Amino acid sequence: MGPVRDYDAWFANLRQNVKTSDDTFTPPKVYEAILEYINEKIAPIDNMEIQRPFYPGGDYQKDIENYNEKSVVIDNPPFSISSEIVDFYIKNNIKFFIFLNGLTIFHHLNKNAHLLCPYVSITYDNGAKVNTCFIHNLLPKGVTISGVLRDKLTAINKERVSKRKKYTYPNEVLSVAQSLELARRINGEHTITNYKGVSGLNSKGKQKKVFCKAMILSKKEQEKLDKIREELGIIKPNKIKQDKTKMINGISKGIFVLSLLGVTTLFYCYGFNKETATMGLYFIFIIVLSFLAHLYTNTNIIVNDDDDDDDDEVIKFELSERQHKYREAIED
């Protein structure tokens, strides 16, 4: 088959023929690239009815009752039951092209199907990174090691990952991603017993869903966990700045002392009159300023290194007022 003349129109036509949809986990651009690859390299599917039975609540076995000779399943099934799915489609003469875990692809070598092996790591919409291959019966039995499809999907995946939003969490929260990172680095064990499970957190005044939920830690649990996270380099310790530098502190002290001596000397030598009173006010003003500077430079300021993100690509989670109350309620 020659190149598709108008891919956008072709894909729009394909979408009209898709009977079911499951865009929850498979990135749409990855799926589109697969359709394009099949059409160009394997078999024309312009006039085929593309079936996607692997959606929440779907029944891939029952769905075949509505299939016909133009039907082809092109979908991303649960990897845990991929073997029985492949066997079922082969037994019932259903055309199929499905995603598989690349590490288990050779389990299907003796089946009457074609293995397509780009061995490409795809980041799916749920955040999972999976070394992905494919199995189909649109070509005779065989194995294709594909650098063409690998490069196509790798380019799409890099673009998607670079554009993926980043998520930051307050230290009062432990997310699944953070617990995975903790498990990779921790020596020994750490048990958390005082927490509240939540499915959403506040972001820019709106409640947003958290992937795979998270836990709100009590203050004591957070303190214990923060020590571990700081030691492991997972979070940066709060930096406590002495108000300005020692040099500024010393200068403010010097100005304070000199101004005090100046006003004392002024009144002692020249007495109290209109001129000395005016000069004295200037000295007092300087004394007050230097005293305030001294106070300011000796105030402990906690610097949060995460306060840099007005970036639209960064979703910064916070506790809502209600969740702060949850946290108070779970304190010992």
Classified as helix, coil or strand, 87 is helix
121 in the same domain as 42? yes
Domain housing 267: 246-302
Note the pLDDT tens digit of each residue in 46-55.
899 999 999 8
Separation of alpha carbons 126 and 128, rounded Å = 6
Q: Are 63 and 162 in contact (CB under 8 A)?
A: no
- Final residue in a domain of this structure, among 132, 163, 194: 163
21 in the same domain as 106? yes
- Final residue in a domain of this structure, among 140, 163, 186: 163
Lowest mean pLDDT among 99-113, 119-133, 220-234: 119-133
253 in the same domain as 119? no
Q: What is the pLDDT of residue 303?
A: 42
Q: How confident is the model at residue 116 (pLDDT cuts 50, 70, 90)?
A: very high
- Final residue in a domain of this structure, among 163, 194, 229: 163
Note the pLDDT tens digit of each residue in 77-86.
988 899 999 9
275 in the same domain as 319? no
Identify the CATH number of the domain in which residue 107 sits.
3.40.50
**Residue 266 C-alpha from the chain's centroid:** 66
Q: How confident is the model at residue 262 (pLDDT cuts 50, 70, 90)?
A: low
Q: How confident is the model at residue 124 (pLDDT cuts 50, 70, 90)?
A: confident
Bridge partners, 135 (sequence order): 98, 115
Q: Is residue 145 part of a domain?
A: yes
pLDDT at residue 15 is higher than 60: no
Separation of alpha carbons 61 and 55, rounded Å = 13
186 in the same domain as 119? no
Q: Is residue 2 part of a domain?
A: no
128 in the same domain as 29? yes
325 in the same domain as 276? no
Q: Is residue 156 part of a domain?
A: yes
Sign of the Cα pseudo-torsion (49, 54, 56, 61, in order): positive
Q: Is residue 1 part of a domain?
A: no
325 in the same domain as 180? yes
Strands in the chain per DSSP E:
49-51, 71-75, 95-101, 114-123, 129-136, 142-145, 166-168, 173-175, 195-203, 206-217, 239-241, 301-303, 314-316
pLDDT at residue 151 is higher than 50: yes
Q: Is residue 37 part of a domain?
A: yes
Q: How confident is the model at residue 23 (pLDDT cuts 50, 70, 90)?
A: very low
250 in the same domain as 182? no
Lowest mean pLDDT among 29-33, 164-168, 221-225, 307-311: 307-311
Note the pLDDT tens digit of each residue in 275-330.
666 666 665 666 666 666 655 555 443 444 444 444 556 778 888 888 888 788 88
Quickly tell me which residue has 């966990």 as its tokens.
225
Cα–Cα distances in angstroms (integers) from residue 176 to residues 78, 207, 212, 229, 318, in the given order:
21, 18, 7, 15, 16
DSSP 147-162: HHHHHHHHHHHHHHHH
36-54 as b/e, with b when 16 or more CB fall inside 10 Å?
bbbbeebeebeebbbbbbb
Q: What is the pTM of this model?
A: 0.53
Q: Is residue 261 part of a domain?
A: yes
Lowest mean pLDDT among 14-23, 110-119, 243-252: 14-23
204-219 as b/e, with b when 16 or more CB fall inside 10 Å?
eeeeeebeeebbbbbe
210 in the same domain as 117? no
Q: Is residue 128 part of a domain?
A: yes
pLDDT at residue 249 is higher than 70: no
21 in the same domain as 100? yes
**Which one, of 56, 69, 57, 55, lies nearest residue 19 by Cα?**
55
Bridge partners, 144 (sequence order): 116
Q: Which residue intervals of 42-102 are DSSP H helices?
A: 60-63, 82-91
Q: Is residue 55 part of a domain?
A: yes
pLDDT at residue 3 is higher than 50: no
Domain count, the chain: 3
193 in the same domain as 311? yes
Classified as helix, coil or strand, 122 is strand
Q: DSSP letter at 304? A: P
